[in-house]
Structure 1
Amino acid sequence: MNSIKRPLNRAGRRRVAIVGAVAAGALALAACGNDSSSGKDHSMPGMDHGGSSSAKASPGSSESSAKGAFKDADVKFAQMMIPHHQQAIEMAKLSGSRASDKEIKELSAAIDKAQGPEIKTLQGWLKSWGKPESAPMDHSMPGMDHGSGHSGMSGIMSDKDMADLKASKGTDYDKKFATMMTAHHNGAISMAEDEQKNGRNVDAKKLAGAIIKGQTAEVEKFKKILDRL
């Protein structure tokens, strides 16, 4: 009986050893499986989404940044166009009590309506860019110093020009307003053309294009008005 039990015990010990080895191997495989699921096993459902998302988000962020990028030409365009628009609105508001021509009054109202919101847009850009609303005039810039205005800004009216306009009424006012606003618009068009040529910001260049289109059309209307007055 004892001789039979010994072999059985040996066999039992072998079985225990084999079972232990298999269990250890299973644990090792499980550990490897856990390693893969932490980011290396791309075959598992739902894995590697974080990495893909990050890779896709990065170029998207760069594109957004590029679209909103700006340079000095964009800043100067905004800084100059604000006072330019402000004077145009000041001139347009005079038409309510001084103009006699219906079309002059209509164009003045259109200028006031269009350029007021544009000023707010330009101010918002400068704020988001961390730039001041105004800056010293740079007379070397294209489009500058073409007019007789005291600031040297293209198409801007001098204090004397504004005083003469305020002192006039009726047909006299209509003629002066149409003449001055033609020069004023041409100055804005020149500044906008410079922005389209040298600027970088997508929105600023788009606004410049709208200014060129809108004010060129208004200049043509002012010329026709002057021809009939």
Structure 2
Amino acid sequence: MLRTLRLPLLASLLAFGALTSCNKDDSDGLMVIAHDESVYMRNMHEGMAMMEAMPKTGDPDNDYSTMMIMHHQIAIKNSQEELKSGKSAEMKAMAQSIIDKQLAEITQFNAFLAGHPAHAPAVPEFNALQMMNMMQMMKAVDLRPLTGDPDFDFAQLMIDHHQAAVENSDALLKYGRENATKTLAQQIITDQKMEIKMLQDFLLANKKY
């Protein structure tokens, strides 16, 4: 009888030891927070809801301009949060630069829209590509392990946000018809690719795992 009790007891002790060992290893690794605890993520999801609800005209230059205004507004809100909550001078400088550049670009997009009524022929291929890029952005940010460190999380999410802007700008260069929007798109590609590299360098220098 004693022998039959010893084996289950030994197995239980071994299992408990393995569990506590696993928890200890986890505590030494990457610490994460729930996404709904992140102001940055809440801003991203609110912005995505606005972009999904955006009426489409079928005119690629107009729809690019309208969506990029909304897309820029997300970046500005998250950059303002970084200025408020961040500790890194490098990331706060990046946030201020993003605010300055993207407010100026919003002014240019609004000026374009004011003088450019949407017109045929419609280009549904552009709208499909534009929304696919936005959905891919949200999948990317939803997969990010957020740490609760405002500087680190700002850098992670801004990379994905910028990548979507680059891809939408590439789509505009392919399907757009107006020199004004194509010039803006090329400038966004150049600026945001450079910023993506700076953000990646920051993450590599401040790894959490």
TM-score (normalised: structure 1): 0.56
Between the aligned residues of both structures, percent identity stands at 28
Map 1:1-229 onto structure 2 (within 5 A): 72-131=59-118, 141-147=128-134, 152=135, 155=137, 168=148, 172-229=149-206
Counterpart-to-counterpart distance in 2, 1:116 and 1:126: 15
Q: 1:104 to 1:191 in 2, by over 3 A?
A: same
Residue ranges of structure 1 left out of the alignment (5+ in a row): 1-70, 132-137
Give CA-to-partner distance per residue, 1:125-176, whole Å, 9 cap, x none.
1111235xxxxxx9952142345xxxx4x63699x97xx98x94xxx11111
Residue ranges of structure 2 left out of the alignment (5+ in a row): 1-57, 119-124
The one-letter code sitting in structure 1 at the alignment partner of 2:60 is: A
Counterpart-to-counterpart distance in 1, 2:130 and 2:59: 15
8 A contact 1:155–1:188 mirrored in 2 = no
Q: CA RMSD in A?
A: 2.8
Counterpart-to-counterpart distance in 1, 2:158 and 2:133: 15
Counterpart-to-counterpart distance in 2, 1:79 and 1:157: 22
8 A contact 2:133–2:167 mirrored in 1 = no
The one-letter code sitting in structure 2 at the alignment partner of 1:92 is: S
Aligned residues: 142
Counterpart-to-counterpart distance in 1, 2:133 and 2:181: 22
Give CA-to-partner distance per residue, 1:39-64, whole Å, 9 cap, x none.
xxxxxxxxxxxxxxxxxxxxxxxxxx
8 A contact 1:156–1:187 mirrored in 2 = no
TM-score (normalised: structure 2): 0.61
Counterpart-to-counterpart distance in 2, 1:198 and 1:139: 6
